[in-house]
Structure 1
Amino acid sequence: MDDLAWNPFGALSAEQREKMEAFEEQLLRFNPRVNLISSETEDAFRTRHLLHCLTLTARGFPDGCTIVDWGTGGGLPAIPLAICHPEATVVGVDSVGKKVRAVRTIARRLGLENCFTWNGRAKEWTGEVHYSVSRATAPLATLWQWHRRVAVDLQPPPREDEWEQGVLTLKGGNLSGEIADLRAMDSDASVARHSLEDLLGRNSFFGEKEIVAAHS
């Protein structure tokens, strides 16, 4: 990964790198029993999973904000974001109890006091959120519905070098239909697309994958 145009690992402190390595170790220890990620991708965890999630750190998240990871699965991107943003509160939501229990245990073992989990359906989560994140969990319009139901404004608002409040989702493929569905549901929603190939360089693994950012 040394040939990346932008390498998010380079911005990590020594302590954060240690926690990322510990996260990998813990997740791979749980994986045979809980199936947190595909076993076929275990050997490429740092590229296929960790680097993919860390692209969300291309911009900042304000101190004191709450980030909800809908369909967190193996804690991706919840745990990497909690490591990178210790002053944010990160909540991993998932309907699969054994995955939630595994993520909760991993977060505790890593000493992540800002990372929490909740087991249940996304549309039933109660709380307040400033940012919603996900990785191939649901269509954009569905994510937008989940987010808008519980979204509250940040005070003060995000700085120019921080993400605008809203949904940040890691997706790939033809997204024209998903974006059209979102705009049909909410004409006030704005969508920005950030190519991971543009961000990381043309030799990156991610090809046509993107960060899709939706906000009001």
Structure 2
Amino acid sequence: MLSVPFDLSGSQRATLDAYVAELERLNRRVNLVARPASRADLERHVRHCLALAAKPFPHGATVVDWGSGGGLPAVPLAVAFPDLEVVAVDTVGKKTETVKLVSRRLDITNLAAWNGRAETYDGPAPHVSVSRATAPLATLWAWHTRVCQPIDLEGDVWSGLVCLKGGDLEGEIAQLHEVAPDVEVTVSGLEDVLGPEWSDKSIVQVTGL
């Protein structure tokens, strides 16, 4: 069973295992992740996404995943946080159809998919946006702020835009501040969450409108 460093139920872990199996099967026909991808590779993708489970989201929030592909991180988040409504957005129809298929087969009732360009998104308005290696921060922030809605924040929860990123982020952050000088950017390394082998990966949170 998929090993994750978070307090998930046996049922949630079983659903994530089933999702990995679906990814492995479907990736042979649809380029959901980089090919070829072994089961270990796919488990690593899911584990990476679950770094976002290190902190809760606002209760009852709508979370939009920009450029979700085959559901990363939308599917792991929907499984880990059943009180959320998660929408996977992607321009490739085969990928959003895959998310819908996974939602039906695994009975993930709080997961939906929207096919089209992020600039024209007109689905459920997000309280929080997420993304994994999709676009620069400035672009993601523009997508988020065009359609986001406010929500009451209680305690230490995710808000605004939350991204899984890798490598040197200095240039991206500078570009974001050029177009949105008043936003606050917080970068947290993943080594404390997932282990030292993830030292080159970070969670980037952007807040402030």
Partner residue in 2 for 1:169: 163
The SS at the match of 1:80 is helix
Q: Which runs of 5+ in 1 are unaligned?
A: none
* TM-score between both structures, scaled by the size of structure 1: 0.91
> CA offset at residue 63 of structure 1?
2.0
**Which residue matches 2:131?**
134
How is 1:37-116 mapped onto 2 (pairs within 5 angstroms)? Answer: 37-45=33-41, 47-116=43-112
Q: Tell me, yes or no, if the aligned pair for 1:189 and 1:215 is still in contact at 8 Å.
A: yes
Distance (whole Å) between structure 2 residues aligned to residue 201 and residue 83 of structure 1? 22
CA distance in structure 1 between the partners assigned to 2:203 and 2:82 by the alignment: 22
Look up the SS of the partner of 1:34 in the other structure.
coil
Check if 1:25 corresponds to 2:17. no
CA offset at residue 8 of structure 1?
A: 4.1
Match status 1:151 vs 2:148: yes
> If the length of structure 2 is used for normalisation, what is the TM-score?
0.94
Task: Output the CA distance in 2 between the equivalents of 1:209 and 1:11.
Answer: 22
Match of 2:182 among 188, 192, 200: 188
C-alpha distance in 2 between matches for 1:15 and 1:171: 29
C-alpha contact (below 8 Å) 2:5/2:193 kept by paired residues: no
Which residue of the other structure, out of 184, 195, 201, is the alignment partner of 1:201?
195
Could you report, residue by residue, the CA deviation over 1:137-177 in whole angstroms, capped at 9, with x for unpaired residues?
000000000000011110xx2222311x2111111111111
CA RMSD of aligned residues (A): 1.6
Give 1:62 shift: 1.9
**Unaligned runs of at least 5 residues, structure 2:** none
Question: 1 CA distance for matches of 2:137 and 2:69?
Answer: 18
Distance (whole Å) between structure 2 residues aligned to residue 201 and residue 109 of structure 1: 32
Equivalent residue for 1:119, pick from 104, 115, 130: 115
Q: Which residue of 2 aligns with 1:179?
A: 173
Supply the AA of the counterpart residue of 2:40: A
Aligned equivalents of 2:193, 2:82: Cα separation in 1 = 24
